[in-house]
């Protein structure tokens, strides 16, 4: 099923993101989490690339395994990093033949040790170019792109940033899924900016519950500058153990989702970190499956 058709049902979508495991043990842990989350009936699940495209083959293998062994609608991430146009074409053809209908098209982050993104010879320099290629060569594909409520970390000019986002939509993107954020006001401001820019595709809010103090810094690194509201930091400072931290993080994320639903969000995308506990807790508290 194409993700774009799910937004036509007139109610918020709920989706989960996983990253490909790097070992057999990690693979079993992931599939255990997926089995626990499957009864929640997510609209779709997405599978990431590692930094710099480092897990490309693992991503492909996991996407195809989910397609073959589950009934889940799967979205595969596809980046411009270290990939030529011919290689992108081969990847898309493989997905097309396997019944994969959904792609999250991203420029991608530079590989480790490389400060700035450098396009591959005969590759794509921007996500908009990747989107345009997919739309032209595989028009049946549903395409998602990334949005940044707090601003793209490489763009000091928020006005031009919205121009770049609109270019991705104009090239053929069907929806936007945002980077994680902890202050809903950033999301609502971003959503209004999209309206002003003439962007009228569904916008899905990315939520990542905090699970440990170590994850706070890791999230900031992954998001390349995630902003933590002072109220959240104060609550975390009172937490004595990682269990306490997880309770605080889950409560904060639950309140975020509740507020987003009250403000008629198009969808909520949970960055699960390949775990099920916090997402299950949020679902139970908000009766999302009641």
Looking up tokens 């900016």 gives 193
Question: Would you state the structure tokens that stand for residue 33, as one six-digit string?
Answer: 């989490």
| 63/58 Cα distance (integer angstroms) | 9
Question: Would you state the structure tokens that stand for residue 183, as one six-digit string?
Answer: 């202050």
Give the residue from 61, 53, 74 showing the smallest Cα distance to 27: 61
Where b means 16+ CB within 10 Å and e means fewer, 40-79 reads bebbbbbbbbbebbbbbebbbebbbebbeeeebbbbbbbb
| 81/117 Cα distance (integer angstroms) | 8
| 218/48 Cα distance (integer angstroms) | 16
- What are the residue numbers of the active site? 17
């Amino acid at each position: 099923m194409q993700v774009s058709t799910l937004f036509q049902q007139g109610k918020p979508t709920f989706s989960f993101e996983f990253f490909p495991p790097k070992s057999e043990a990690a693979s079993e842990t992931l599939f255990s989490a997926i089995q626990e989350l499957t009864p929640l009936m997510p609209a779709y699940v997405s599978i990431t690339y590692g930094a710099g495209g480092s897990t490309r083959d693992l991503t492909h293998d996991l996407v195809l395994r989910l397609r073959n062994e589950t009934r889940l609608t799967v979205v595969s991430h596809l980046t411009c990093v270290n990939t030529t146009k011919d290689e992108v074409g081969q990847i898309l053809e493989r997905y097309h033949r396997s019944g994969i209908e959904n792609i999250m098209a991203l420029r991608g982050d530079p590989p480790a040790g490389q400060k700035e993104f450098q396009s591959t010879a005969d590759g794509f320099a921007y996500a908009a170019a990747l989107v345009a290629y997919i739309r032209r060569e595989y028009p049946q594909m549903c395409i998602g792109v990334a949005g940044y409520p707090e601003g793209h970390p490489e763009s000091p000019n928020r006005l031009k940033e919205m121009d770049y986002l609109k270019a991705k939509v104009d090239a053929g993107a069907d929806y936007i899924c945002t980077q994680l954020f902890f202050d809903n006001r950033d999301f609502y401001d971003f959503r209004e900016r999209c309206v002003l820019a003439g962007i009228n595709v569904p916008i899905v809010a990315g939520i990542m519950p905090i699970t440990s103090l170590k994850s706070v810094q890791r999230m900031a690194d992954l998001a390349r500058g995630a902003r933590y509201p002072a109220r959240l930091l104060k609550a975390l400072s009172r937490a004595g153990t990682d269990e306490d931290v997880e309770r605080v993080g889950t409560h904060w994320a639950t309140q975020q989702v509740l507020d987003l639903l009250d403000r008629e969000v198009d969808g909520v995308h949970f960055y699960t970190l390949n775990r099920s506990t916090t997402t299950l807790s949020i679902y139970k508290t908000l009766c999302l499956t009641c």
